[in-house]
Amino acid sequence: MGSLRPVGALGLAAIALLLGGPVLVSPALAQSAPTYGLGRATSAEEIRARDINVGHTGEELPPGHGTPKEGAKVFELQGCIVCHGAEAVGGVGPRLNSKTSQDLPIWKRERILPLRSPFATTVWDYIRRGMPIGREGTLTPDEVYALTAYLLFLNKIIPEDTVLDEKSLPNVKMPIGDHYARLPEWKPNTPRLQGYPY
């Protein structure tokens, strides 16, 4: 990857000096140069409008808030109940409410997103981008915070009086902690797993 890094400001200045030209490169421009000059410069507003990713630090989260109680109402009003059942015990859609004991290790419990996910932000992100089926992307931030709170409460991860917002959501401690495998660094022309029977 080293060869792909943009030449630093000092590097460009040094080249300019060597060439005997005036150093007109400001630090902001002292970056890699485009080769083809294709594509349109994209503003921060345009990016905000299209970027629906929410990483675990929550930096992309919009302002808003919601509680488990509010979430229970949204769950009915938005029709989540039709597929996921009352209290999210399942129906034509998957069960989202764990019935296993909290004493069991997480990997012996159900594969339910608001239970096994390492980050509550992933739950928030998926509800916003993918639900409800047929009306994806129409929930307000408050509704998404409330639904996330409700599902985390049903799975006994947060107490009923919790208010989730853009500050508190990234701090929710999920039961999995860091007990999950990390992907090994990928390299070209390299076997997936040394010692695997090949």
| Binding map of another protein across residues 43-62, x = CB under 8 A, - = no contact | ---xx--xxxx-xx------
What's the start-to-end Cα distance of the chain, in Å? Answer: 29
Q: In the complex with another protein, which residue's Cβ is closer, 159 or 191?
A: 191
Window of 18-26, 67-75, 81-89, 122-130 that interacts with another protein by CB under 8 A: 122-130
Distance CA 136, CA 105 (A): 33
Q: Nearest approach, Cβ of 138 to another protein (angstroms)?
A: 11
Distance CA 24, CA 29 (A): 10
Q: Nearest approach, Cβ of 86 to another protein (angstroms)?
A: 23
| Binding map of another protein across residues 57-86, x = CB under 8 A, - = no contact | ------------------------------
Which stretch of DSSP H or E encloses residue 84? helix 80-84
Q: Which of 11, 63, 82, 136 binds another protein (CB under 8 A)?
A: 136
Q: In the complex with another protein, which residue's Cβ is closer, 86 or 133?
A: 133
Q: Does the footprint of another protein cover residue 129 (CB under 8 A)?
A: yes
> What is the total residue count of the chain?
198
Angle (nearest 5°) at CA 103 between 169 and 146? 25
Q: Convert 61-85 to b/e letters by CB count within 10 Å (16 or more is b).
A: beebbbbbebbbebbeebebbebbb
Cβ contact 169:61 at 8 Å: yes
Q: In the complex with another protein, which residue's Cβ is closer, 45 or 161?
A: 45
Q: Which residues bind another protein (CB under 8 A)?
A: 1, 4-6, 31-36, 38-42, 46-47, 50-53, 55-56, 107, 113, 116-119, 121-122, 125-126, 129-130, 133-134, 136-137, 179-193, 195-198
